[in-house]
């Protein structure tokens, strides 16, 4: 079965995973024994190839590939991959065959790379609601202290500077691609690879012109393989690439441009290039279409390669151990001769011997967004334990597809992983899952929430009582059916299906938002308000209060709209969609000058997520204000 046909089957039905999983189980995840007859690499121990300080004074380029499965890359053995530029790194590089991320969400995974700390240690554990505290030290800060120039060019709002990864960077750039519009509350605003590459190349060119040019640390992040898959190559490809594979091929093309710029504006022999994928993509494995819900290897196995012609003259691979993306920072520090000023969870692969007992900690807190239990796990070179309401234990050497759960079957040495994970979790008292970046509620905030019939502003769900994500995955996939029904304008059917899911959804917002959208499309504004109000009485987050205010405006309930907006802004002052919507409210009340001030405020505090319509609204308000009459 081709990538394309598999993808189409998955899109037709949420049950399309069954046949692909059964057919591909024996082959898709055979990365545990990656070498094949066409593999040019030789197994090595990194300590036999390089020593600490061998890259002292080298430039460091980190390229992170979002949502990219290693089994879709040529240098990980994919024969029909369209990744020639990425593959070329292995001509003078070393590939870590069994590399694992500690989180299957973008912000948490990248924070792990940049700090060398596991998510519970760094405090960053999911997208959008966590921020890296300033007392943590990033790789950029360490290298800047050594005289490095530092620049970062990221392509997703989830890595926006407001979330803390800008620490230590002289330049840290995220810009929204205005051709890719998302809702103003969305975390998935992105910038395409060609624009990210252009900015990175400009930075390299500018840096190279300095007479006293220092070594540099450049981070380039490509978000394109993340859903929705809409690669520019889809319309031009003659190779019938799947939408997902076409996104990766587009990133590879742009990475090729970056390589040429590195060669032109700096010496490749003095540049250490590191490519890492932050996490993978489910693509139907274990019924997971995308990522974040589970921590199977389809989403936590990562690509990880080091490349430099001076350090690695021949293609090689490390295949005798499990390596974490948490090891990126200490490994790079060791190579460039920098000593981290803090204790790390990761270890340098330059100086660490293979250890069959080493285990990488992995987690996902994303299921909490679905009203489900978070997952925690330990991953060794040959086994994995997943702590869940229904625990899971896998022998990855015999079962790389993680289809045969051995938990409770007396699996011998593998069973010790449960106790080891329990001991590890004790390092993080009470397994804190509340985001450190939450805005504290004042007494006035609590009074207003109570007066509106809401709770205290945060979920009080007992995590231990939540259902297993495995029991909810069919419902998650069914939301794709709701989206299809909305696209086909079958609004009653979409509403009915969304409402079926709301009662058991807990704090999961998607069913409520889908029901609200169906009602909006049918111009049933009063019912739309009721659906959103019911959710907010249970969990009044800034995002959902914003959507409720939007519905109240459409229902011409202006005073109620203003009250919800004021409360939402108190909970998240950096949420620019709130003053933007307040501008719409003031426009409806013919208060044009006040509307202008709100639109300008929105653009000032949150320029990256606001669509072009906010600028259009601002221009309209200015025009009407100049006329002086409604």
Within 10 A of 38 (CB to CB), how many other CB atoms are there? 7
Total tally of structural domains belonging to the chain: 3
Q: Identify whether residues 216 and 136 lie together within a single domain.
A: yes
My answer on whether 328 and 232 are in the same domain is yes
pLDDT digits (tens, 9 = 90+) for 447-479: 666 666 665 444 445 677 888 999 989 888 888
Same domain, 305 and 264: yes
Q: Tell me what the mean pLDDT of segment 52-67 comes to.
A: 96
Does 451 lie in the same domain as 422?
no
**Average pLDDT estimate for 554-567:** 95
pLDDT of residue 428: 86
pLDDT bin (cut points 50, 70, 90) of residue 607 is confident
Task: Return d(Cα 606, Cα 581) in angstroms, integer.
Answer: 13
Residues in the chain, total: 630
Residue 142 has pLDDT above 80, yes or no: yes
Per the listing, tokens 């998607």 go with 510
User: Residue 200 is part of a domain; what is its CATH number?
Assistant: 3.40.720.10
Are residues 204 and 68 both part of a single domain? yes
Contacts with 330 (C-beta within 8 Å, 6 or more apart), sequence order: 116, 340, 344, 346, 347, 348
Q: What is the CATH number of the domain that holds 389?
A: 3.30.1120.10
CATH number of the domain to which 476 belongs:
1.25.40.10
Query: Of 128-142, 156-170, 253-267, 497-511, which range is least confident?
Result: 497-511
Residue 79, domain member (yes or no): yes
pLDDT tens readout for residues 379-404: 999 999 999 999 999 999 999 999 99
Quick check: 557 pLDDT over 90? yes
Which residues are CB-contacts of 230 (< 8 A; sequence separation ≥ 6)? 180, 243, 247
Q: Indicate the average pLDDT of the chain.
A: 85
- Output the CA–CA distances (angstroms, integers) from residue 368 to 293, 463, 500, 604, in the order listed: 9, 8, 19, 32
Domain membership of residue 410 (yes or no) is yes
Cα–Cα distance for residue pair 183/606, rounded to 1 Å: 13
Predicted confidence at residue 453, as pLDDT, reads 66
Q: How far apart are CA 65 and CA 67, in angstroms?
A: 7
Number of H helices, E strands in the chain: 22, 16
Question: Is residue 550 reached through a cis peptide bond, with omega within 30 degrees of 0 on the bond before it?
Answer: no
131 and 265 part of one domain: yes
Q: How big is the chain by its Cα radius of gyration, in Å?
A: 25
3-state secondary structure of 406: coil
| pLDDT score of 432 | 52
- Report if residue 178 sits inside a domain: yes
Residue 304: which of 283, 322, 291, 288 has the closest Cα?
322
Residue 55 pLDDT > 90: yes
248 confidence band (pLDDT: 50, 70, 90): very high
Do 426 and 488 reside in the same domain of the chain? no
Shared-domain flag, residues 347 and 291: yes
Query: Pick from 353, 380, 404: which residue ends a domain?
Result: 353
**Residue 115's domain spans which residues?**
3-353
* pLDDT, tens digit (0-9, with 9 covering 90-100), for 284-325: 999 998 899 999 999 999 999 999 999 999 999 999 999 999
Mean pLDDT of 106-116: 96
- Per-residue confidence band for 216, with pLDDT thresholds at 50, 70 and 90: very high
**Is 545 found in the same domain as 458?**
yes
The beta-carbon contacts of 227-235 under 8 Å, at least 24 apart in sequence, are 227/67, 227/281, 227/289, 227/290, 230/180, 232/192, 232/194
What whole-number distance in Å separates Cα of residue 460 and Cα of residue 571? 17
pLDDT mean over 334-351 = 95
Using CA atoms, how far apart are residues 19 and 10, in angstroms rounded to an integer? 10
Give which of 391, 428, 404 is closest to 117, Cα–Cα: 428
Task: Give percent above pLDDT 70 in the chain.
Answer: 84
- Domain boundary among the residues 391, 409, 431 is at 431
Domain stops at, among 431, 451, 471: 431
Q: Are 480 and 385 part of one and the same domain?
A: no
Q: Let me know if residue 622 belongs to a domain.
A: no
Most confident of 33-37, 95-99, 187-191, 263-267: 95-99
| Residue 421 and residue 476 in one domain | no
| The pLDDT of residue 458 | 44
Kindly give the residue spans of alpha helices, DSSP state H, lying in 106-242. Answer: 106-115, 119-122, 139-145, 193-208
Nearest-angstrom CA–CA distance, 363 and 386 = 9
CA distance 108 to 130: 9
In this predicted structure, what is the pLDDT of residue 107?
Answer: 94
Residue 392 and residue 347 in one domain:
no
Q: Is the pLDDT of residue 8 over 50?
A: no
**Angle, to 10 degrees, between the axis of helix 558-571 and the axis of helix 542-554?**
160
């Amino acid at each position: 079965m081709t990538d394309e046909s598999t993808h189409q089957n998955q899109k037709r039905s949420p049950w399309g995973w069954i046949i692909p999983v059964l057919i591909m189980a024996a082959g898709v995840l055979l990365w545990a024994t990656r070498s094949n007859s066409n593999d040019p690499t030789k197994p090595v121990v990194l300590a036999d190839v390089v020593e600490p300080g061998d890259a002292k004074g080298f430039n460091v380029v980190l390229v992170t590939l979002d949502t990219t499965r290693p089994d879709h890359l040529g240098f990980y053995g994919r024969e029909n991959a369209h990744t020639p530029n990425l593959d070329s790194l292995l001509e003078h590089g070393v590939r870590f065959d069994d590399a694992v991320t500690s989180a299957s969400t973008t912000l948490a995974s990248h924070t792990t790379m940049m700090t060398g700390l596991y998510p519970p240690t760094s405090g960053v554990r999911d997208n959008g609601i966590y921020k890296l505290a300033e007392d943590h030290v990033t790789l950029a800060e360490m290298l800047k202290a050594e005289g490095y120039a530092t620049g970062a060019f990221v392509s997703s709002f989830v890595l926006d500077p407001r979330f803390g990864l800008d620490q230590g960077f002289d330049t840290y750039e995220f810009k929204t691609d205005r051709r890719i519009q998302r809702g103003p509350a969305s975390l998935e605003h992105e910038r395409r690879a060609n624009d990210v590459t252009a900015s990175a190349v400009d930075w390299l060119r500018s840096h190279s012109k300095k007479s006293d040019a220092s070594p540099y640390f450049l981070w380039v992040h490509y978000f394109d393989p993340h859903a929705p898959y809409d690669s520019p190559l889809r319309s031009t490809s003659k190779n019938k690439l799947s939408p997902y594979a076409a996104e990766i091929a587009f990133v590879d093309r742009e990475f090729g441009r970056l390589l040429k710029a590195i060669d032109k504006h700096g010496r490749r022999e003095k540049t250490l290039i590191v490519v890492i994928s932050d996490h993978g993509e489910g693509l139907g494995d274990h019924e997971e279409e995308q990522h974040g819900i589970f921590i199977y290897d389809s989403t936590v196995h990562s690509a990880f390669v080091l490349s430099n012609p001076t350090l690695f003259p021949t293609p090689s691979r490390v295949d005798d151990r499990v390596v974490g993306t948490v090891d990126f920072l200490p490994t790079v520090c060791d190579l460039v001769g920098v000593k981290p000023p803090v204790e790390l969870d990761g270890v340098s692969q330059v100086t660490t011997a293979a250890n069959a007992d080493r285990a990488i900690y992995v987690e996902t807190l994303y299921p909490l967004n679905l009203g489900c239990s978070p997952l925690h796990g330990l991953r060794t070179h040959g086994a994995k334990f997943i702590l869940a309401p229904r625990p899971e234990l896998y022998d990855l050497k015999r079962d790389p597809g993680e289809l045969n759960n051995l938990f409770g079957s007396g699996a011998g040495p593998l069973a010790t992983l449960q106790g080891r994970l329990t001991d590890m979790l004790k390092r993080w008292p009470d397994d804190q899952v509340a985001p450190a970046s939450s805005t504290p509620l004042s007494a006035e905030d609590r009074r207003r929430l109570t007066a509106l019939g809401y709770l205290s502003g945060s979920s009080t769900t007992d995590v231990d009582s939540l259902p297993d994500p495995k029991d909810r995955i069919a419902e998650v996939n069914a939301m794709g059916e709701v989206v299809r029904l909305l696209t086909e304008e079958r609004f009653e059917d979409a509403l009915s299906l969304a409402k079926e899911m709301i009662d058991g959804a807990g704090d999961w917002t998607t069913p409520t938002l889908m029901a609200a959208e169906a009602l909006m499309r049918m111009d049933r504004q009063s019912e739309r308000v009721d659906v959103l109000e019911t959710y907010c009485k249970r969990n009044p987050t800034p995002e959902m209060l914003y959507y409720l205010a939007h519905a109240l405006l459409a229902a011409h309930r202006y005073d109620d709209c203003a009250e919800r907006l004021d409360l939402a802004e108190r909970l998240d002052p950096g949420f620019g969609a709130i003053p933007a919507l307040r501008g719409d409210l003031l426009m409806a009340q013919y208060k044009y000058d006040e509307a202008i001030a709100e639109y300008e405020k929105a653009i000032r505090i949150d320029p990256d997520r606001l669509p072009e319509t906010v600028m259009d609204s601002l221009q309209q308000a200015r025009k009407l204000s100049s006329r002086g009459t409604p």
